[in-house]
Structure 1
Amino acid sequence: MSADQVIKTHAAFNSQHIREQFPILKETVHGRPLVFLDSGASAQKPASVIDSMVHTMRTQYANVHRGLHWMSERATEACEAVRDQVAAFLNAPSRDEIIFTKNSTEAINLVAYSFGALLKPGQAVVISEMEHHANLVPWQLLRDRAGIELRVAPITDDGDLNLTALQALLADGKVALVAITHMSNVLGTVTPAKQIADIAHAAGAQVLFDGSQFAVHRKTDVQDIGADFYVFTGHKLYGPTGIGVLWGRSELLNAMPPFMGGGDMISTVSFERSEWAALPYKFEAGTPAIVEIVGLGAAISWVEAIGMEAITAHEAQLTGYALKRLADVPGLRVIGKPKDRGGVISFVMDDVHPHDMATLLDRNGIAIRAGHHCAEPLIRRLGLTATARASFGVYTTEEDIDALADTLIKIRDFFV
């Protein structure tokens, strides 16, 4: 998108109308208007998502895939319609490749367990230095369980993935999977997914992208980027908690053993043996998150009504504005200078601990996150123990950024 297109799209973006659709933004915190800058942890929910879930529980709730009665059939239709929505949202080749999980973490664990079961000792998995614990710990468990090697691709001092080093890690042909974030939850770094996939495939490896942050901010096309697995979570996409998505290429999913056993993931069962259901149900044991699936569908509909291009343009403009305003805060240093940054900014301030910043900002009604952001190895790589983080959503405004910057200046003055 050109600069002119960004400006034009942003000009058509009605922030006030969008904010009015979020009931929680009318709340006050410590007597101050709520300024919510922690969407990277979990986004707020528009009324349409809340209403869709309440409507389901009030009028057509029943278990799915099991009943022949009217309620069960309506609930099943509603959930399966969301599977179609998700497939279109990701541009997946088939709806049968969409697996509902409870979050990105479970989706990655599913791949680590089931795809990992196909790996042999001596093979390797590559991750990067900027991974969330959800895309690190499951591979450590696989390493310890199956005797595979875990390799870590470095980042540059600016916070970009070192592609030359990544390629070198795959040179011996032992890497079976590259698992990389599509957007860092600490640095906001948007990784070059197509290049990563090309590097992985050239070395005979598959590639998984953790899209927990990226799918919220930009259009996601799993075919265009050449992914083999892709995960994202509903609660960051203005939907409910308890629902996530794994997309995987059907030939890989068909080769993988089930992750969990139970009802709905089988075709036949005897005391001697069981046969698995076809995709996607092979990986969906037990009663799914029925109401949450409906909420995810409502969230996708809401986002698509605004348009991902408009959301991307709004957040690009907002991120640029935030970087300029934070540059005016004495003693404040933004962490990382990635070539492509999404709506996440981590920062530190001389003589002020990030936890103190977060606490004092909260007393002024401003919600940010402070700590290692479930990316402890990355924070250590940066030579830090913690950062403060502001992360933006579709409802974030320049006035929110002004409130953050102005209050940080007051905090700095207080400590100095």
Structure 2
Amino acid sequence: MNAKIEKPILWGSLAVALAALLWSLDGTFLRPQLYSLPSVLVVFLEHLLGFFVLFPFLIIYRKQIKNITKKQWLAVFWVALFGGALGTTFITKALFLTGFHDISVVILLQKFQPIFAIVLAAIFLRERFPKNFYIYTAIALVAGYFMTFKNPWTIGNLANAVSGVIVYALLAAFAWGSATAFGKYSIKNISYGLLASLRFGLTVLIMLIPAIRYFNGLGDINGIQWKTLIIIVFSSGAAAMFIYYYGLKKISASLATLCELSWPISAVLLDYIINKNILSWTQIIGALIVIGAITKIMLNNRSYHLNGKVIAGLGQGEKTGLHTANLELSVATKTKMPKGLYTCALEIESKPYSGLLYYGYNSLTKKDCLEAHILNFSGDIYGQTILIITERYLRLPKKFASIEELTKQMKKDLKLMEN
């Protein structure tokens, strides 16, 4: 892999993993100190203090605000509402309801976030489900039941399944999973620092209305609790989110989800070491299966790196209106990537480009092919080695009766690429 691309991926992965480790400190060490406070007030205060810290980035990158499109503003608002206000409120409420005795279950249930993120990406961004998505999702859901209860064989657990702790934990997973999908979209052409400050600022405005009823009790917050709130800001709160968006800017959402596994693993270990909470053997097996199934889902939806030499084609690709580069099929087969159409990033002669990568049956040549359609490029690259990184899976391979049908489909694919 080209070093120019490999290094950002490494730093991005480490940043997301570090942010996840900081999150694991929250429920074990910090949030228990705030147990006596209303969860809504806690969420408001931690975001207000966090916004004060992140405000300088709003000033520094204020010129980038004009680059935010209407769709991106909606995405940023979604991130603030679900990722900031609702997600944090739900997880805080779930932890408070446990009395901080079984927080491992609450944390492990957050590993359903990728399923929610993929479903929302399919609905709003028109991405397809990974090939084996339904199978692994079913496995994860069944294993999730065993992970949730110490004694899964008790019929009474079906009633407990709708208890506040489980419901709030799953709502948090949905809220944060959706925030990941929309966060990646909203960070496309703005700084990670700007997105973090906008998220915290909008969350403060959103939480102001429900929190204002508790303002009379601000004087009852003791020194230890104020100190805890400040520590949260500089650890699991604003600082962790700033680090997370730094990493998310450099890596795919699917890779970020895998790096986030450091959160539940470290949280469960800390819960055992600090609070002496022990999972039952069925919970441990269920947790391992959930993590394995979610990991498999994300690996099926990951980015693929292809490095190959451009070979001669039949010249049919130019008729679609895009510059086409053909590569040997072996470049794709050795990665075991699913056949279909992807959006992709390309590096040609050390310059970045975007485009579409198609791997599958070619109706014009009557055989499988691997070809990249490069946007805003002209020139002869025959014989050159190019680097391609897939981004989003758009659709399965299709057969076309004519070049006109193919061209029409390519125009539709380009519109999907803009979403």
TM-score by length of 2: 0.27
Decide which structure has the larger Cα Rg and report it: 2
Q: Which of the pair is proportionally richer in helix?
A: 2
